Amino acid sequence: MKKLLALGLLSLLLLVSGCPDTTSHSQGVYMLLDSSGTYKKEIKRAQAIINYLLGTLQPGDSLAVARIDSASFSEKDIISKMTFDRRPSMTNQQKRLFKQRVDEFVANVKGSAYTDITGGVLQAVEYLNETGAGRKHILIFSDLKEELVKGHVRDFPIQLSECKVVALNVTKLRSDNVDPREYYKRVDQWKERVEAGGGHWRVVNDLERLESILAD
Amino acid sequence: MSLPEILIIWPGSPVLSLIIEFVIAILLLYLARGPAHKAIYSLSTIIHSGLRLMARSVLLGEKRVVERNKEVLLATGAKAVERLIEREFYRVDAVVKRDMSGYPALQHKLGDQIARIDEDYRESTEVPVPSPDWVKAVDTLAKLPSKGDSWIANILGEIHKTAQAQYKNTMEEYRKAVSVRHSLLEKMMPYWRRLSQTLDQVDKTIIGLHERSKVIDSRMAEYEDIRNQSEKAVRMLTSSAMTQFFISALVLLIAIGGAVINFNLIALPMSEMVGGGSYIGNFKTSNIAALVIILVEVAMGLYLMESLRITHLFPVIGHMDDKMRIRMIWVTFTILLILAGVEAALAFMRDRIAADMQALRHALATVETAEPVSSWIPTVGQMVMGFILPFALTFVAIPLESFVQSSRTVFGSAVASLLRLIGFALRLLGNVVRYIGEFLVNVYDLLIFPPLWLENVIRNREQHTEVSDIIVNEEVS
């Protein structure tokens, strides 16, 4: 009788603990910072967004911040990346460390000659797929004007399935003011490229409404 | 060919065509009048009968539900009154055991006190020895006139002196006797007081018992009413069940509020234990774990109340022998105590995590924010709440039992009302269908009124002719 009872309890425990949820509820956020000459002065704003993300992301979520430079398809460009611990207390410590790294980067940031946004996006997709996050966000803090080093090939389709790509603070360049069609063309080109790759495209220029960045 | 063209049977004159069609239709309807009437009547009768049958079935069902409700209500009421009477008898038993068990001793004490008082009283009633009978004679002689004879005067003087001395002695003895009597009566006073107190005590007990017997009498009358299945008892029990239902629902709502607060108190720190990012289905594991803890506390509370025989939800526990029941009380209480301790610890942990999160938010905020007021009061408050709420939730068992018991009556009444309403609606619908049938027959006749009018005219003329023929025949004959 006792054996039966023990077996029943064991089965119940297995039933409760042995049915893991296969769908991932965690979020993965990869933020690309444009550090080109024209955009370097905007980096302080990006810092505020990162702080917002650190305050919003939950235990188990992943966050990575990388710079966009002349050749961004490289892990060397990642400023900081972390998958937060399941325990809130550990997560808080990790967030403090993350903030420290970002602060150091902002203090010592150097402008790059070229802007390889596509390389950065490719790197972001790789990272987010590795994290296994259920919701993937790529935040591009840039004017979206891509300038590639001669010889670098980037004009090919990107696989962005289930990724939400959000362009942040897409500033109008001086040339945009002369001909606004250039701005719209730039944004539309990226939209087409992202949607062609299976991703969702969105532009958030009003940084007062940060909660809309990760909104579904 | 379009539809209107089909209807035009007189080319070039649609109005004439329509009139011809109308006349043909009226004639056809007139010819089919009898079967059409029958068809309409049979259809309406079928629907009417069907609906009446349904209404009857529903009303029979309603009657059965009402009877069942009444049975359940009376059974529950009888059980409740039985419990009350049983409790009153227990109280009487306790009073009898407490007070009446000392009655032999009390009686003995009273007997002693009465015997002493009696003895003292007898002693106090003993009259002093009366003066001897010759004293009167001597006194009479002493008062005789001496008539100047000195010898006689001397004798009489001596006699008088003797009488005076005897009087003094007697008075002295009398005073002594009175004094002794007073002292005896004085000694009686405490006995009287004690006797009075003892009798007061007995009186109180008797009055208490008398009051209890009155309560028992009224409960017994109530019980008899229930046993006799009187309407008064049913009305009273229904009203009582309704009141119980609403009151217990209100208390349960308050308890749910307490459970929600409890949940919020332990959900965050649970994420520190089971992980903040893990999910079961669409729910966070930490939330489910917190909920499970609260539900376990409620379950333990139910068992504890059941073991204490305050509630009667689980007959298995109620039928346990006392030894086992007491063990169960201790086990459930210990589990509750442990859970309360765990909750207090979790509440403390919650406060620490919240403070850490607040500090991080301040560090992340770009604008300067005011330093939070550090105080131990919220921490202690949360810990106390965490410790008390599990015990407070224990008492959910009482309103839950009332709710479960009264909901049977309330829902039963609601079902009966609903069935009654459906039955009424079905009967109404049946009658409406029947009258619609009659109305359709009338409408039918209205449509074919020209031929009907002609038929009436011809029939009247025929009757008139027949009557005239009969009169002529009678005159001829």
A91 CB within 8 Å of a chain B CB: yes
DSSP A143: -
Q: Are B255 and B416 in contact (CB under 8 A)?
A: no
The shares of helix, strand and coil residues in chain B, as percent rounded to the nearest 5, are 85, 0, 10
* Chain A environment of B356 (Cβ under 8 Å): 88-89, 92
Task: Return the residue in A58, A91, A97, A207 with the most chain B beta carbons within 10 A, the one to mutate for interface testing.
Answer: A91
Q: Please say if the pLDDT value at position A7 is more than 70.
A: no
Q: Rounded to a whole number, what is the distance in Å from the CA of B366 to chain A's nearest CA?
A: 7
How far is B280 from B292, CA to CA, in rounded Å? 13
Range list of H helices, B143-284: 150-227, 231-274
A45 CB within 8 Å of a chain B CB: no
Q: Which of A19, A48, A58 sits opposite B276 (nearest CB)?
A: A58
**Cβ separation A25–B268 shorter than 8 A:** no
Q: What is the pLDDT of residues A74-113, one digit of tens each?
A: 888 899 999 999 888 899 999 999 999 999 988 888 878 8
Instruction: Name residues 120-149 of chain A within 8 A of B (Cβ).
Output: none
Q: Are B280 and A21 in contact (CB under 8 A)?
A: yes
What residues are paired with A80 via a beta bridge? A65
How far is B135 from B167, CA to CA, in rounded Å? 9
Q: Residue B77 corresponds to which tokens in the numbers above?
A: 């009421």
A86 CB within 8 Å of a chain B CB: yes
pLDDT in the model for residue B438: 94
A51 CB within 8 Å of a chain B CB: yes
Task: Return the residue in A12, A16, A87, A207 with the most chain B beta carbons within 10 A, the one to mutate for interface testing.
Answer: A87
The series of mean pLDDT values per 10 residues for chain B, 477 residues long, is 66 82 90 93 95 94 91 87 86 79 76 78 64 66 69 79 82 84 79 81 82 87 86 85 92 93 90 83 89 93 92 87 92 95 92 88 72 76 92 93 90 93 95 95 92 90 83 76
* Chain B environment of A95 (Cβ under 8 Å): 360, 364
List the single residue in A with minimal CA-CA distance to B362: A55
Q: Which of B272, B275, B364 sits opposite A54 (nearest CB)?
A: B364
A71-76 long-range CB contacts below 8 Å, 24 or more apart? A71/A114, A71/A116, A71/A119, A71/A149, A71/A152, A72/A32, A72/A116, A72/A117, A72/A118, A72/A119, A72/A120, A72/A123, A73/A116, A73/A118, A73/A119, A73/A120, A73/A122, A73/A123, A74/A119, A74/A123, A75/A123
pLDDT in the model for residue B465: 83
**Cβ separation B276–A88 shorter than 8 A:** yes
pLDDT in the model for residue A1: 47
Tokens 């031929």 belong to residue = B451
**Cβ separation B279–A25 shorter than 8 A:** yes
Work out how many CB contacts closer than 8 A connect A with B.
Answer: 62
Q: Rounded to a whole number, what is the distance in Å from the CA of A10 to chain B's nearest CA?
A: 18
**Cβ separation A26–B277 shorter than 8 A:** yes
List of domains in chain A: 23-212 (3.40.50.410)
pLDDT in the model for residue A4: 47
A92 CB within 8 Å of a chain B CB: yes
Please report the ipTM that was assigned to this predicted complex: 0.76
A62 CB within 8 Å of a chain B CB: no
Task: Return the residue in A27, A86, A98, A99 with the most chain B beta carbons within 10 A, the one to mutate for interface testing.
Answer: A86
Q: Are B399 and B241 in contact (CB under 8 A)?
A: no
Q: Residue B220 corresponds to which tokens in the numbers above?
A: 């017994």
Weakest-pLDDT range from A69-73, A170-174, B87-91, B180-184: A170-174
A26 CB within 8 Å of a chain B CB: yes
Q: Are B199 and B114 in contact (CB under 8 A)?
A: no
